[in-house]
A and B are shown apart, each in its own frame.
Chain A
């Protein structure tokens, strides 16, 4: 006990020393402060979201208007638009590949976990900073390097990687296969290696911090659900990213050193390649062992943010706190044993398929628990519709509508029909893409006051929400029909197929909706940057929330709390407690200070609490005198 508190004192002194030495470079660029690193992740993530979104608009133009003259895009795309004003088919493949890679890894992994794990973990558990600020800084800069490499690959003469975001061999392993499998693929692999290193460093830091640096009283049973979600996300990443590294390593050997891990008996132009004995399905196993947990790496932080935002803005304790934790744990464990449901039609043993089908369908249970808990938290709450709250409710909506289609896709028999169609695209864009994106946006609206000391404009937030929410459904709902009709993914054009004619209008509709939805994001961008400088000044606790971050100064400095780190006495969800004066009781308020609202068994605990507080005071006094 005593050694721990001495260590805390030392840490506090260290931070005070640092504060005087901040210059522009150490404050804004090579910062080791978790809050600045979080903002770096956020802004980089927003940059990538714009790029990723723009790419999707480009290929949506092709899909919705296959006869369109795209000459006007020549200033950006140059040679990728041919003489007749048509988009180059190989570049179309590159567009979908890069859209997927950027959105999954750079936006919804780095941009989401990177931002909110960094920002909220120390603030909500009561720590001065991450366990290793230096490693945290390295983590961001590795991500940055990874991004630079990926960005450069967009401008290669042969184009960026084009084998789909899953980069299956042999397509990705053979340079002769498509232009994108040349240098673009090499850069993709290099960029991903940096990205994996960055994620692992970040993850190690998050786990270490959550386990070792919690403030007094912050037991695991008093952690906000955000922290539980970030913690388990980091655990998933720690276990799955190394496997992607192993898969990528073998792919590199196949591509550049001539080994045959994934290649066997391939003929190109009538010539047999020397590779023999490899197995492309092996790559799929390795890839999806990361690939499926990755879905939850993307989703869990968003669910955590939603839990917090919904409880705060319903002015009600989260329904089933313990059930929420158990379902998070359940999802974490199950995420590792369902990967082969991506491979039902890969030629895998069908008996294996039924096992994976069974395991996959079990995931519906913890997911449903979470959905019901969100709904029951909202039920008869004093709802306050802040933009963050709207986006959180939007997340719940997407999670339901996208999750239901997952039950179909998880069936190995139905998957034979639906595999690699737009039905799959619709499913994962709703349940994983849009839901996580909404969680991220909700987080930005909710914690913007803590990040920048100002409020974002709520009216613009409402406009942003409604256009985006309706827009997302307009884009992805029709895709279910297109998918059931048999439209395969990643096809440049369907004009050669008779059956496709009757869906031309629907595809056009989707494209228009996508453009409008993408356009609405500029409202958010304007709101974000405008409010950063001109927004209304925030108060200390604008959402009247219980968690620790709102006990810091409005713009917390390096070290977060100017004095002692506050101790925690209660769980984070004491909203509208019967008998209490206010409709919220922050975690730092001892039970002994709220006799009017304590439940009988809490009254018992007050006695214990008072004793401990007395001891604490004695320790403090002796520390003061010894200093």
Chain B
């Protein structure tokens, strides 16, 4: 049994992926683990009672729409870059950045809405958790915006095109991931509220 295992595939180059893209995926795993930890902490804490009930800000629905649109724009930019459509690439990327910033602004207003509801960062953990989720997600999203801006600048130096897609591809992966992460958080809050 063991002997068979040893010699089956002789000298072949092992399958390899672009190391940086692979590392990005591993980084995403760590982000997933952070939010998995926080959301499970939320459930564990919620089950213990003494839990403040309040309405989720309705603005979350708008911010979810915005972040999805932003992702779609970036996907458009990605396919434009594949076809060497530089104008489409730049406009798609710019719109994605713009909507990303708009998302951050709408998240800010969700905090304003929470404060209006008398739900503060300091107080019952049920409110604090919401600030931590949105805040930590926003921190990641800011890093994503910076990443997108860097890619946008490099398009003006003609460094992104159909034969040099790696950076854009990584930015797209990260951006879609952040959008999906927000949708997960939002759904989680809707279901466990």
B125 within 8 Å of A (CB atoms): yes
Cβ B48 vs Cβ A214 within 8 A: no
Q: Are A214 and B27 CB-contacts (below 8 A) given A242-B33, A260-B128, A601-B7?
A: no
Interfacial residues of chain A within 241-264, with CB under 8 A of chain B in the complex: 241-243, 245-247, 249-250, 253, 257-261, 264
Interfacial residues of chain B within 81-95, with CB under 8 A of chain A in the complex: none
Contact partners of B121 in chain A: CB under 8 A:
253, 257, 259
Contact partners of B50 in chain A: CB under 8 A:
264, 276-277
B30 within 8 Å of A (CB atoms): yes
Contact partners of B6 in chain A: CB under 8 A:
221-222, 321, 570-571
A322 within 8 Å of B (CB atoms): yes
Cβ A213 vs Cβ B128 within 8 A: no
Contact partners of B20 in chain A: CB under 8 A:
131-132
Q: Are A5 and B13 CB-contacts (below 8 A) given A204-B27, A277-B124?
A: yes
Q: Are A208 and B37 CB-contacts (below 8 A) given A242-B31, A279-B45, A282-B44?
A: no
A219 within 8 Å of B (CB atoms): yes
A25 within 8 Å of B (CB atoms): no
A470 within 8 Å of B (CB atoms): no
Cβ B23 vs Cβ A257 within 8 A: no
Q: Are A245 and B17 CB-contacts (below 8 A) given A205-B23, A219-B9?
A: no
Cβ B11 vs Cβ A321 within 8 A: no
Q: Are A321 and B2 CB-contacts (below 8 A) given A212-B16, A569-B11?
A: yes
A537 within 8 Å of B (CB atoms): no
Contact partners of B12 in chain A: CB under 8 A:
216-217, 219, 612
A49 within 8 Å of B (CB atoms): no
CB distance from B25 to the nearest CB of A (A): 9
CB distance from B132 to the nearest CB of A (A): 7
Cβ A602 vs Cβ B19 within 8 A: no
Q: How far is B131's CA from A261's CA once the two chains are assembled, in angstroms?
A: 12
Contact partners of B1 in chain A: CB under 8 A:
322
Q: How far is B8's CA from A608's CA once the two chains are assembled, in angstroms?
A: 10
Q: How far is B12's CA from A212's CA once the two chains are assembled, in angstroms?
A: 13
Q: How far is B29's CA from A200's CA once the two chains are assembled, in angstroms?
A: 11
Contact partners of A250 in chain B: CB under 8 A:
38, 41, 132
A46 within 8 Å of B (CB atoms): no
Cβ B5 vs Cβ A608 within 8 A: no
Cβ B125 vs Cβ A213 within 8 A: no
Contact partners of B153 in chain A: CB under 8 A:
none
Contact partners of B98 in chain A: CB under 8 A:
none
CB distance from A238 to the nearest CB of B (A): 6
A599 within 8 Å of B (CB atoms): yes
Q: Which of B7, B10, B34, B126 contacts A245 (CB 8 A)?
A: B34
Contact partners of B51 in chain A: CB under 8 A:
277
A207 within 8 Å of B (CB atoms): yes
Interfacial residues of chain A within 281-299, with CB under 8 A of chain B in the complex: 282, 285-286, 289
CB distance from B97 to the nearest CB of A (A): 26
Cβ B10 vs Cβ A608 within 8 A: yes
Q: How far is B135's CA from A259's CA once the two chains are assembled, in angstroms?
A: 14
Cβ A260 vs Cβ B48 within 8 A: no
Q: Are A246 and B26 CB-contacts (below 8 A) given A253-B128, A260-B128, A322-B5?
A: no
Contact partners of B55 in chain A: CB under 8 A:
none
Task: Describe A's contact surface by its main secondary structure.
Answer: helix
Contact partners of B48 in chain A: CB under 8 A:
279
Interfacial residues of chain A within 540-581, with CB under 8 A of chain B in the complex: 567-571
Q: How far is B33's CA from A169's CA once the two chains are assembled, in angstroms?
A: 22
Interfacial residues of chain A within 195-232, with CB under 8 A of chain B in the complex: 200, 203-205, 207-209, 211-214, 216-219, 221-222
Contact partners of A214 in chain B: CB under 8 A:
14, 16
Cβ A253 vs Cβ B132 within 8 A: yes
Interface size on A, residues (CB 8 A): 67
Interfacial residues of chain B within 34-64, with CB under 8 A of chain A in the complex: 34, 36-38, 41, 44-45, 48, 50-52
Contact partners of B3 in chain A: CB under 8 A:
599, 601
Q: Which of B10, B13, B19, B126 contacts A605 (CB 8 A)?
A: B10
B22 within 8 Å of A (CB atoms): yes
Q: Which of A4, A242, A285, A608 contacts B16 (CB 8 A)?
A: A4
Cβ A260 vs Cβ B123 within 8 A: yes
Cβ A207 vs Cβ B44 within 8 A: no
A589 within 8 Å of B (CB atoms): no
Contact partners of A359 in chain B: CB under 8 A:
none
Cβ A602 vs Cβ B26 within 8 A: no
Cβ B19 vs Cβ A259 within 8 A: no
B116 within 8 Å of A (CB atoms): no
A485 within 8 Å of B (CB atoms): no
Contact partners of B34 in chain A: CB under 8 A:
242-243, 245-246
Contact partners of B31 in chain A: CB under 8 A:
242
CB distance from A174 to the nearest CB of B (A): 15
Q: Which of B11, B23, B126 contacts A216 (CB 8 A)?
A: B11
Complex: chain B residue closest to A602, CB-CB: B7
B190 within 8 Å of A (CB atoms): no
- From A5, A204, A241, residue with most partner B Cβ within 10 Å: A204
B122 within 8 Å of A (CB atoms): yes
Q: How far is B14's CA from A567's CA once the two chains are assembled, in angstroms?
A: 11
Cβ A211 vs Cβ B22 within 8 A: yes
Q: Which of B19, B29, B38, B44 contacts A238 (CB 8 A)?
A: B29
A266 within 8 Å of B (CB atoms): no
Q: How far is B3's CA from A208's CA once the two chains are assembled, in angstroms?
A: 28
Cβ B125 vs Cβ A261 within 8 A: yes
Complex: chain B residue closest to A4, CB-CB: B13
Q: Which 10 A-B pairs have the closest CB atoms?
A: A242-B33, A217-B11, A246-B37, A131-B19, A243-B37, A212-B16, A242-B34, A258-B122, A204-B26, A214-B14
A-B contacts, 11 listed (Cβ < 8 Å): A4-B16, A132-B19, A132-B20, A214-B14, A216-B11, A216-B14, A242-B31, A250-B38, A250-B41, A261-B45, A279-B45
A212-B17, A277-B123 are known; give 14 further A-B pairs, CB within 8 A: A205-B23, A212-B19, A219-B12, A219-B14, A238-B26, A241-B30, A242-B31, A242-B37, A246-B34, A253-B132, A282-B44, A289-B37, A591-B7, A612-B12
